[in-house]
A and B are shown apart, each in its own frame.
Chain A
Amino acid sequence: MKIRFWGVRGSIPAPGPDTNRYGGNTSCVSVTGDNGGLVIIDMGTGLMHLGNSLLAREFGKGHGKASILLSHTHWDHIQGLGFFAPVFIPGNQFTVWGPGPYGSSDMLEDILEGQMDPNFSPLQTLKNLAATFEVKAAPLGTPFTAEGMTITAHEHPHGSTTALAFRIEDGGRTFVYASDVGQPEADAPPSEAAVAFYKGADVLLHDTTYFPHNQITRRNRGFSTYEDAGAAAIAAGVKRLVTFHYDQDYIDDDVDALIEACRTWLDTRGGKDIELIPAREGDEITI
């Protein structure tokens, strides 16, 4: 399994020289399975650059196929869709798996349709995408198959709403994507359900939006600190922890400090053996 980071920022893209090293694009991660299958997680602005890179492959000729896992539909996780070049090439096939209340995909499709409303988007409607674009409700807790990989979805709190985490298993390896993870209560241990879902992952990518002192005043926004991520990683016994979804106001030096603080926190809480990997735009890790 190969995991590549195309957008690692939270809430809104943050351009500027002081975000060059980690990157300013919003959430988008690609996962390439051992058989070459492509799963994309979240459609932030990073998706545009992933899409442009795909044009050199079968997607440029309309022979591409991929699945897109959507954690939730806040703007920073869907705003790249209208700029994803492969959806404008007939013949390409995409299946979106996202939050479907009551197991129904209708509402999710309506939400994505609303994104293309003519007041906001020149596309006017999803029907104007040239590629096949199927929207499905991701079942919760029951594994399904996408592009040859086994996927399980788990719902966690995210501010006033919820978001989905995804566990991806392929070739005996496991990658978990858990972004926008709300921590409704201060000083609470990670939820048992979340720990069970992350259990034994080779790589856990976890929301590390905040330093603790910033979370205190913004707990209602539904994001984690590096401490929340570290605690989940230790409790679930994961091998590697990836930091992700940095606050839009953090410059590179701030993120450096956040990662250093996370390392220290892990070392002093029994997580010395966990490898800490900062998500940076353009970086790729192999499991």
Chain B
Amino acid sequence: MKVRFWGVRGSIPVPGRTTNRYGGNTSCVEVRPKGGHPIIIDAGTGLRRLGKSLMEDAFGEGKGKASILISHTHWDHVQGLPFFSPAYQKGNEIAIYARQRDMHLEAVFSAQNRAPYFPVPLSAMQAQMKFHEVIEGQKFTIGTAKVSVTRLNHPWIAIAYRVDVDGASVVYCSDTAPFADFLLGTDFVKQAPSLDGPLPPETAAELAQMRAGVINLARNADLLIYDTQFSKEEYRQRPHWGHSHPDDAIAIAREAKAKTLCLFHHAPLRTDDENDQILEQFRGVVAAQHDRFALVSAYEGLEIPLGDE
């Protein structure tokens, strides 16, 4: 399979000269099994250009099939969907997977794609759109790919995906806070909580279970894509935002014995030069610890072949 990055940014798209090299589009990753249909993870603004490239192929003739796995429906992970050209082409089949909510998924996506926010309703999408609700712990297949799911520590709950296909595996773990200090759920947290007090035992147990789920999901993964929006210091200022940092991602990769760790979901105001520095700094950390995994940082256009191509 091939993994290609179309959007690597968190929170909000950031066009401009300081993001030219890593890219300013929000989260979108394409997993392309050998000879198979694309499995797209998240539908940030990067999805627009992916859609255009797909239209040059079977999707342009209305003969394309794609799956989109959504980590959660915060704007930066769904805002590209209304601009996904293959969805407007009759004959294409698009299956959207996302975590079960209180309301049906199709209603959630309909609320995004309707007046007064967007001129074209979801019902105008001519492709066959199917919505699949998934829940942590679930396993399912897409063609020859096996997909598994675990829960992450993020406001309103996000999920991580593992895709096994062509004798290789990729794990997408964004967005999540570390699993140590604070449990995020459906409550709004107004102020940054103190991280120094002891956790109630049941919260600590739930976080430990969540972390074990992530380690298990990422075990021996060929590629682990991980939310590293923050530095450790930035995380301590905003632990309630539900994002992690490279130190935590490295600890997860080490424990799960992942083969390559990919820094992802870069902070919107992080410049290219700062992202270079972060990568260099943590490559030093990984080398000093004699870690066996490779460390890369996601940029738009990065393509990583895994297993059978």
Contact = CB atoms under 8 A, between A and B. Distances in A.
18 contacts: A13-B13, A13-B14, A13-B45, A15-B13, A15-B14, A16-B15, A16-B24, A20-B17, A23-B16, A73-B117, A74-B116, A74-B119, A111-B117, A115-B117, A118-B186, A119-B73, A121-B74, A122-B242
B118 A74 contact: yes
A52 B116 CA distance: 28
A11 B73 CA distance: 20
B79 A19 contact: no
A83 B11 contact: yes
A14 B73 CA distance: 21
Interface in B108-137: 108, 111-112, 115-119
Contacts of A9: 15
Contacts of B118: 74-75
A15 B15 contact: yes
A114 B111 contact: yes
Interface SS, B side: loop
Interface string B84-127: 00000000000000000101000010011001111100000000
B12 A16 contact: no
Contact of B155 (A12, A16, A20, A122): A122
A160 to B, nearest CB: 6
Complex A-B, nearest 4 residue pairs according to Cβ-Cβ distance, in ascending order = A24-B15, A15-B24, A15-B15, A13-B13
A110 B110 CA distance: 17
A124 interface: yes
A128 B20 contact: no
A17 interface: yes
Interface string A84-127: 00000000000000000000000000010011011111111100
Contacts of A24: 13, 15-16, 24
Given A73-B117, A159-B119, A13 B75 contact: no
Task: Give the bracket for the number of chain A residues in contact with chain B.
Answer: 35 or more
A239 interface: no
Interface in A1-27: 9, 11-17, 19-20, 23-25
B186 A74 contact: no
Contacts of A20: 15-17, 20
B112 A120 contact: yes
A67 to B, nearest CB: 21
A120 B23 contact: no
Contacts of B78: 120
Given A24-B15, A45-B13, A83-B12, A73 B73 contact: no
Contacts of B156: 118-119, 122, 124
A232 B282 CA distance: 57
Nearest to B112: A120
Nearest to B188: A124
